[in-house]
Structure 1
Amino acid sequence: MLRAAGVGAGDEVIVPAFGNPEVADAVVQAGATPVFADIDPDTYCLDPAHVADRVTARTSAVIAVHRFGHRADLARLHDLGSRHGLLVLEQGESEKPYDELAQRRAHATYLNGKLNGVRTPAGHEGHTYQQYVVRVPGNGRPDRDAFARTLRSKGVECRVPVKTPVHRLPAFRRDAELPETERAADETLALPVDGAMTRKQLHRLVSACNALGGLLEPAF
């Protein structure tokens, strides 16, 4: 799509650093330069205000990525694109069947009301809970990782959704100030919310999380 739109050498394309490197890699494959912008802390999608700050005379496009079932703020991004003559592209997530989405939302509602010691997802309208991502805020990566290790030891499947932001990977290393991206990479944890989960499994998940009583101290 970038090549078809004439994006290439000498152009800059604004992309999120919170996620996998495939979007930035696509920009490089088109011959352009990826420029990383920060995310909205609630949706984990591009923050239009920070995107605006990253626009230069070389900027030709913005790629918005919908994340974890949250939708990027396309209205504001398209408005920005109109004002600066930028192409606005989007990368979506694989859609799940309606019944699966309805069950995920029901499970998420249950977890939102029961979990403590973590910050539950912002329930924006239209959130599909492709992943149920909580925050384990603290003093950095060891706190979240210790929390995750303890959950796994109790039989709860969980994973870190973004281990390393793209701007910190060797192939794309940039000296960029992206505080919300960095914070999200250090604090986020994806908990199971599959539609096939039973109420007993959800209760066990809640019990395992709440039994920790908040953050664990990192082991030295």
Structure 2
Amino acid sequence: MRTVETLSSAGVRGGDEVVVPAYGNPEVAEAVVRTGAVPVFADVDADSYCLDPAAVADAVTPRTAAIVAVHRFGRKADMGWIREIGRRHGLLVVAEEEPGAERTDEGQARRRRAHAKYLNSRLTGVVTPAAVAEHTYEQYVVRVPGNGRPDRDAFARALRGRGVDCRIPVPAPVYRLPGLRRDVCLPQTERAADETLALPVRPDLSRRELQRMAGACNALGGLLQPA
């Protein structure tokens, strides 16, 4: 990640504001802090988990110097609209890959897309990701409906008990983390942090493994519905 170098070379300095995603890794906001600037958290789109352009527009103030968008889980942020906002206000716009994302060749991406297509057609009881052609499914992220984090966490524990190696991709909004705390509440970010769960779609998974995973999810899905 070259956020610090990019912002510094563009003249972003202490006191400037930089709009960043509230959902995801803290590294982006931490990089902004290292330049002396102030991270301003914007909400994410409910489908892509990337910056919502409307939320970005609302976050811009006279002190804003830059916007840093992050491509999330293998899906691209809506850079067309975000760059238009930057052009309108004279802001630097930076697009970053998700910290820690793997480099995916086309063969791996095809395999993951095939796994995602299969799971989208089979899973019930969870909300599957929107099917988008350019999505590479670095992580296959579903939503577990329920009354909040305890339901998603209980679902994850039950899946692991059935041998499914699932993980919580973003445990908390970035603005709740030590050193980055802000008194904000962004509804889509809050919901995503409470509901999302990443299921494995490694290229080497077999159809039988995918079938077992779908069966385990479907067996549990009806037990954890909204009240």
TM-score, structure 1 normalization: 0.96
Using the TM superposition, give the Cα deviation of residue 153 of structure 1 relative to its aligned residue in structure 2, in angstroms.
Answer: 0.3
Stretches of structure 1 lacking an aligned partner (at least 5 in a row): none
Using the TM superposition, give the Cα deviation of residue 8 of structure 1 relative to its aligned residue in structure 2, in angstroms.
Answer: 1.0
Question: Residue 122 of structure 2: which of 92, 109, 114 is its match?
Answer: 114
Q: Deviations over 1:117-157 (max 9, x none)?
A: 00000112211111000000211000000000000000000
Alignment RMSD, CA only?
Answer: 1.0
Q: Deviations over 1:153-192 (max 9, x none)?
A: 0000000000011101121111113100000000000001
1:209 equivalent to 2:217? Answer yes
**1:17 alignment partner in structure 2:** 22
Contact 1:45–1:67 (CA<8 Å) still a contact in 2?
yes
Stretches of structure 2 lacking an aligned partner (at least 5 in a row): 1-5
Q: Report the Cα distance in structure 2 between the residues aligned to 1:206 and 1:134, rounded to whole angstroms.
A: 12
Contact 2:126–2:221 (CA<8 Å) still a contact in 1?
no
Q: Report the Cα distance in structure 1 between the residues aligned to 2:93 and 2:76, rounded to whole angstroms.
A: 14
1:143 equivalent to 2:143? Answer no
Using the TM superposition, give the Cα deviation of residue 61 of structure 1 relative to its aligned residue in structure 2, in angstroms.
Answer: 0.1
Question: Residue 48 of structure 1: which of 44, 48, 53 is its match?
Answer: 53
Contact 1:143–1:215 (CA<8 Å) still a contact in 2?
no
Superposition misfits of 4+ residues, deviation over 4 angstroms: none
Question: Residue 169 of structure 2: which of 153, 161, 168 is its match?
Answer: 161
**1:66 alignment partner in structure 2:** 71
Identity across the alignment (%)? 63
Name the aligned partner's letter for residue 105 of structure 1: R
Using the TM superposition, give the Cα deviation of residue 10 of structure 1 relative to its aligned residue in structure 2, in angstroms.
Answer: 1.4
Name the aligned partner's letter for residue 74 of structure 1: M
Contact 1:136–1:215 (CA<8 Å) still a contact in 2?
no
SS at match of 2:93: strand
Contact 1:144–1:187 (CA<8 Å) still a contact in 2?
yes
SS at match of 2:19: strand
Name the aligned partner's letter for residue 100 of structure 1: Q
Contact 1:105–1:128 (CA<8 Å) still a contact in 2?
yes
SS at match of 1:212: helix
Contact 1:160–1:190 (CA<8 Å) still a contact in 2?
yes
Name the aligned partner's letter for residue 129 of structure 1: Y
Contact 1:63–1:91 (CA<8 Å) still a contact in 2?
yes
SS at match of 1:44: coil
Name the aligned partner's letter for residue 52 of structure 1: A
